[in-house]
Structure 1
């Protein structure tokens, strides 16, 4: 039986508080980002996760190693918790996935804009040609 895992990290990225959602499914690793604005309380974050987690725009699934199972040694757990508290924010893997998603969205937007511009130019050319023909006809 395969298991799905999720992680939600809230961190301060000046000037806003940001939440980074990560999940590992059978398809692979996915990440999403949400901006909170002012510092949310624990209760607000919990309420947000309960009501809005399903609406997060996760990136496309990519191959990724799942986090390992919880170690049995309590001292190791304590060391890892202290290390996680010291580190600055979400994993770099989440940031890389979000950056790739942003870049893909930008490329798509540029391609759509280019096609729209090309269509407008063709329409203007067609109108100019039609006007030329009408002038040549002589009214």
Structure 2
């Protein structure tokens, strides 16, 4: 599990990347304005596990390669290189986009239904007004 906190121009966002059961899952948590160290620590200690446990989406399946023993110096160089590059990985972006698309579809279905109900309501009001006019009220 990996937590990366970055600034997106407006808010500080925590990106949680988790690999479990051969599936890659990414979660996005908005901290708001610049979080203090103790706020991040409280989130990690108290809320992080519940945040991940309440997940509805399956994640992206991954195939795991055999883990090869790596030279410690090479590992150190790799870590330094990773710290220099931007924080969001492409897999995390894909997972977040997939989750966003699912939510977008759910939202569009409900918004279409609400629009149709509103149109029907307005139509009923117009019909009622015309009936009242016809009756001379």
Q: Normalising TM by the smaller chain, what interval?
A: 0.7 to 0.9
How far apart, CA to CA, are the structure 1 residues paired with 2:28 and 2:39?
A: 16
Q: Gaps (5+ residues) in structure 2?
A: none
Distance 1:38 1:68, change over 3 A: farther
Aligned pair count?
133
Task: Tell whether the 8 Å contact from 1:8 to 1:21 is kept in structure 2 after alignment.
Answer: yes
Moved more, 61-70 or 44-53: 61-70
How far apart, CA to CA, are the structure 2 residues paired with 1:22 and 1:100?
A: 14
Task: Tell whether the 8 Å contact from 2:5 to 2:15 is kept in structure 1 after alignment.
Answer: yes
How far apart, CA to CA, are the structure 2 residues paired with 1:137 and 1:13?
A: 61
The TM-score normalised by the length of structure 1 is 0.73
1:30 aligns with 2:25: yes
The TM-score normalised by the length of structure 2 is 0.73
How far apart, CA to CA, are the structure 1 residues paired with 2:65 and 2:40?
A: 23
Q: Gaps (5+ residues) in structure 1?
A: 1-5
Residue 111 of structure 1 deviates from its aligned partner by 1.6
Q: Which residue of 1 aligns with 2:51?
A: 55
Moved more, 17-26 or 98-107: 98-107
Moved more, 63-72 or 10-19: 63-72
Residue 11 of structure 1 deviates from its aligned partner by 2.0
Alignment RMSD, CA only?
3.0
